[in-house]
Amino acid sequence: MKNIQKKKENKENIKALKRFMQKMKVFFSTKPKKEKPARPKSYLMRKFGAITFWLLFSFMFLVVFVNITSNINSSAEVEQSQPKPMTNPATKPEAIQFAKDFTKNYFTWKRDSWKAREKRLSNFLAKGLDSQAGLVRDSLKWDASVQHVSLQNVEKITEDKAHIIFETTTKMSREVQVKNGNKKEKEKTKTKTETKEVAKFFAVPITYNGTSYGVYDLPFITNIDTTTTVTEDANNYRKDLKAAKASKEVTNIKNFLDTFFASYAKDSEDRLSYILTDEKHQNGLQGALNFVEVGSADVYHGEKQSKFIVIADVTMEDPKTSIQFDTVYRLVVTKEQDHYVVSNLKADQAIEKLATE
């Protein structure tokens, strides 16, 4: 009986062990699923908003990037399609200097050394042109040496050609035979050098072939009207400015001008600074001229109530030679509390601005 009882107990123990092992197997082979925590609706809305923002931002960035690149490309295409204005190479400073050098050589010759002149001119003249650049030698009775060459005008002819015009002064000379004026001696002759100066306007046809400059045609004598058509600035300004009526203020300003110009002529920068506040013109004449008088002065209203435009005719004198000079000064006189100062010594721009308003 005992054996039977033990067998039963053993079987039950084995069954219990199997059930335990089965449970352990199930526990280690399958992990319980974690449940996601519940999220509030506000969190979901914020998440959705953030995603929407970044999508819109990315879209806008793409649009801006495309526009910028397209503008750059289009502007580059426009620049390439539009022809750039070309500067005529025959009007550049290098061309002017080339023409000036040619002119100096043209008006320099000796009747007994034409080969030397021909060699000099060959550096300038285009092939096929007369080797003496049109100068007729047969009837020539004078030697020549250039004295002065100054630029007067540059006329564009084509895209690569121009006429460069100079005013020239040439000293002409020749040897002449003159009679000896001594009556006691037999009539004899002696050699004398005769000279004179000749002024001309001289046009030089210049071109550039991409490699070098050259005189492409024979130069020629021309004429230029040098009379100016410019009118006096002071008179033009006076009619457009608003004149200040006669008053104690105007009288005080005119009296101040005598004090100012006397100081401007002789005083140092430190002393002058009390009545001259123009930062661009701190130095006076420092004795280079003496002040004589203010011949006349017209006072006009400035841009502010405390400012006045003054156009004054002033006479100065050289201290060494006593030579006198009349000069027109255009000033801005400013009233500061109980005294006057010159706040602008050369007020052309200020006057022009007021005159055109």
- Choose one of 200, 222, 244: the last residue of a domain: 222
Segment 319-348 mean pLDDT: 91
Give the per-residue pLDDT at 177.
84
**Is residue 27 pLDDT above 80, yes or no?**
no
User: Is the same domain home to 239 and 160?
Assistant: no
Q: In this structure, are 159 and 238 located in the same domain?
A: no
Question: Encoding tokens for residue 20?
Answer: 């335990």
Count up the domains in the chain and report the number: 2
Is 134 a domain residue? Answer: yes
Q: Using 50, 70 and 90 to split pLDDT, how confident is the model at 176? A: confident
Is there a single domain that holds both residue 246 and residue 163? no
CA–CA dist 308, 329 (Å, integer): 13
Strands, E assignment, the chain: 143-158, 161-179, 189-208, 213-215, 220-222, 290-301, 307-317, 324-336, 339-344
User: 200-235 pLDDT, tens per residue?
Assistant: 999 999 999 999 999 999 999 999 888 888 776 655
Whether 253 is covered by a domain: the verdict is: yes
In a domain, 14, yes or no: no
pTM for the complete prediction?
0.59
Does a structural domain hold residue 118? yes
In a domain, 209, yes or no: yes
Q: Is 217 found in the same domain as 275?
A: no
Domain coverage including residue 110: 90-181+188-222
Residue 166 placed within a domain: yes
Instruction: Based on the fold, state whether residues 257 and 143 are members of the same structural domain.
Output: no
Q: Would you give the distance in Å from CA 20 to the centre of its chain?
A: 102
E-strand ranges in 318-353 read: 324-336, 339-344
* CATH code: domain of residue 168: 3.10.450.540
Q: Which helix (H) or strand (E) holds 306?
A: none
Judgement on whether residues 243 and 145 belong to the same structural domain of the protein: no
Inside any domain, residue 63: no
**Same domain flag for 204 and 265:** no
Does residue 333 share a domain with residue 237?
yes
Residues 208, 316: one domain?
no
91's enclosing H/E stretch is none
Q: What is the mean pLDDT of the chain?
A: 84
Q: What is the mean pLDDT of residues 297-302?
A: 91
- Which residue has better confidence, 242 or 216? 216
Summarize the confidence of residues 79-94 as an average pLDDT: 77
User: Are both 123 and 174 inside the same structural domain?
Assistant: yes
Give mean pLDDT, residues 147-161. 95
Q: How many whole angstroms from its chain centre is CA 71? A: 30
H-state helical runs in 232-325: 233-240, 248-266, 269-272
Higher local confidence (pLDDT), 210 or 50 = 210
SS3 3: helix
């009379």: which residue's tokens? 227
- What is the reported pLDDT for 116? 95
* Residues 170 and 206 reside in one and the same domain: yes
